[in-house]
Structure 1
Amino acid sequence: MNPETEIDLIKWMEDNCYNFNSYSINGNFIYEGYGIEKNGNLYSWYYTERGQRENLKYFPTEKEAVNFAFEQIKTDLTAKSHCIAILKSDSELNRLTSELDKREVKYSIDKIPYGGLNDMRSRIFVIGCDIRKVEDLKQKN
């Protein structure tokens, strides 16, 4: 069953291990991403980046806004990705991926220039509810 209210959408996201890093639902703060907000008698679906907000679509009811958001969020692969570590050394990376493999946890890896082009780091993302299996492995920031 599809969520019909913002509270239902939050519960669905939590139950299905989506993250809220890029989605403001029912008023949670985000630096950048999409959100739902009630403006007068309308609900808006908006995007915000670097302090600039753009209303992308308007809906007459909460149910319609939530349905639109639900369809957007459930197809967003990054919304189910949870960064558990940013690693500098290949040995750390190998140790962590070996442990993830043992636990049969789905993950992805990318490399970013963390402190510039000469300081590459590997980021490890756990997918979906596998995040619950690796709480003890999350890097402390």
Structure 2
Amino acid sequence: MILLGIVLAGAAVCVAVGIIADNTAPATLTVFGQHVPGVSSEAQVFVAGVIVAIFFVMGLAISSLALGRSMRVRQELRDLREEREESLTALELERQQLQRELARARGNQRPTTADIPVAGHRKRDQDPVSPFFDQSA
């Protein structure tokens, strides 16, 4: 949309430059070397200039509206990212608090490294051991 507005304003500027550069007679309208039919008075040349100015202003308006919208969208995304980070931080703090409360409720019993199961390994007393290898006997 921004590009459309810029193109429209640029086209209006080009037409205005063409009109100004090519017109030497007061009551004719020539654009880029071509005579515009139906324009024979100074009032009609003025109306043509007003139309070009309207297109220029429309192009600028489209560009500014589209730019403002994109800036609002970026700001909303930035705000949402900040809000997400804040909620994640709050959730992490709450998780840590709940872990502390759970540890307090269990009587401050922390699991030791021997109690934590390791993938693919069993405790020594649960291993099936042949009596041949039992050294306690």
Q: TM-score, normalised by structure 2?
A: 0.17
Larger strand fraction of residues? 1
Structure with max Cα Rg: 2
Q: TM-score, normalised by structure 1?
A: 0.17
For CA contacts below 8 A with separation 6 or more, give which structure has more relative contact order: 2
